[in-house]
Amino acid sequence: MKRLTILAAVMVLCVGAWGVFASGGDSQTPSSQVGPDGKKLDEVGYNPSAAAQLAESTRIMLGERTLKDYHKKIHQNGNNCQLCHSGEAPTAPPDDANCIRCHGTPQQMAKVTAKLERNPHNAPHYGTYVPCTTCHKEHQPSKVLCADCHSFTFENFKK
C-alpha cells in the first residue's frame, strides 16, 4: 500500500507538471509560466523543482537507479525522468518516440550499422521492429537480444 501511495504521488506530480504546461495554452512563452509550486518553468516546460521531487519519489519507490554517463548531461543527472518517460510514471520502459528525437528512427539507425557483419538494427528475425529499450537500458546493464542465442558481440555497444 505504501508503494502504491508513492506511485500515486509520483503519477500526480507527473500529470501536474505536464498538466499545467498543457493547459497553459501558450507554449511560445513558457518562461513566463509557473509550476504548481509557484516556481518558474524553463523553456521546454520542465519544472526543475517538481522534477526533482518526482525523481526523489521515484528513488524512494524503486531504490537508487543506475545512470549511464553518456546520458547524465541530458537528463540532468537523473533529475529529469520526463525526458525519456514523458508524463507517465517512470515504472515502465519509455516509448521509442523519446529515443528517436535524438537518435533517429529505427530505419535510420539500421543504415548507421548497415556495414556490420550482423546488423543489430535490421536483424533477419525482427527487421527494424525491435524497441530501442529491448537492448539499450539506462538503469541496468545493457544486453543485446541476439545474445540470448548467439555469442557474437558488437564492439561499439555501450554496456
Partner 1 sequence: MLKAAGIAAGSVLFSQMTVTESKASTLKSDYWDREFDVIVAGSGFAGCAAAIAARREGASTLVIEKMPVFGGNSAINGGAMAVAGSPLQKEKGIEDSVELMMADMLKGGRGTNHVDLLRVVCAGTAEAFEMTKEFGVKWKDVLLQFGGHSVQRTCQTVNFTGGDITIPLMEGGIKLGAIYKNRCKLEKILTDDSGVITGVLVRENYDFPNEESGVLRRYKINRGFVACTGGFGNDIPFRMMQNPTLDDTVGCTNHSGATSESFHALLAVNAAPVNTASFQLGPWASPDESGFGYAPQFNQQAAFPYGIMVDIRDGKRFVNENADRKTRADAQLKHCKDETGKIYYPVAFCSEPGTVKSPTVKYALKEGVAWKFDSLEELAAHFGIPLEPLKAQVKRFKSFVAKGKDEEFGKPIFDFDRSMYLDKPPYYAMRAWPKVHFCQGGVNINTKAEVIHMQSRQAIPKLFAAGEITGGTHGESRLGSCAIAETLVMGTIAGKNAALNKARSRKGE
Binding site for partner 1 (CB under 8 A): 4-5, 7-9, 11-13, 15-20, 22-23, 36-37, 50, 53, 88, 91-93, 123-127, 129-131, 133-134, 145, 147-152
Q: Taking the complex as a whole, how short is the minimal distance between the CB of residue 29 and partner 1, in angstroms?
A: 18
Determine the Cα angle at 109 with ends 103 and 115, to 5°: 140
DSSP string, 105-136: -HHHHHHHTTTSSS-TTSBTTTBT---GGGT-
Q: Taking the complex as a whole, how short is the minimal distance between the CB of residue 10 and partner 1, in angstroms?
A: 9
- CB nearer to partner 1: give 64 or 117: 117
- CB nearer to partner 1: give 69 or 155: 155
- CB nearer to partner 1: give 13 or 109: 13
For residue 34, the cross-strand partners are: 40
- CB nearer to partner 1: give 41 or 83: 41
CB contact at 8 A, 135 and 144 = yes
- CB nearer to partner 1: give 102 or 149: 149
CB contact at 8 A, 84 and 98 = yes
Q: Taking the complex as a whole, how short is the minimal distance between the CB of residue 1 and partner 1, in angstroms?
A: 9
Residues in CB range of 105: below 8 A, 6 or more apart: none
Backbone φ, ψ for residue 40 (5° rounding): -75, 150
Q: Taking the complex as a whole, how short is the minimal distance between the CB of residue 73 and partner 1, in angstroms?
A: 26
3-class DSSP state of 20: helix
Give the cell for residue 59.
528513488
Q: Taking the complex as a whole, how short is the minimal distance between the CB of residue 105 and partner 1, in angstroms?
A: 16
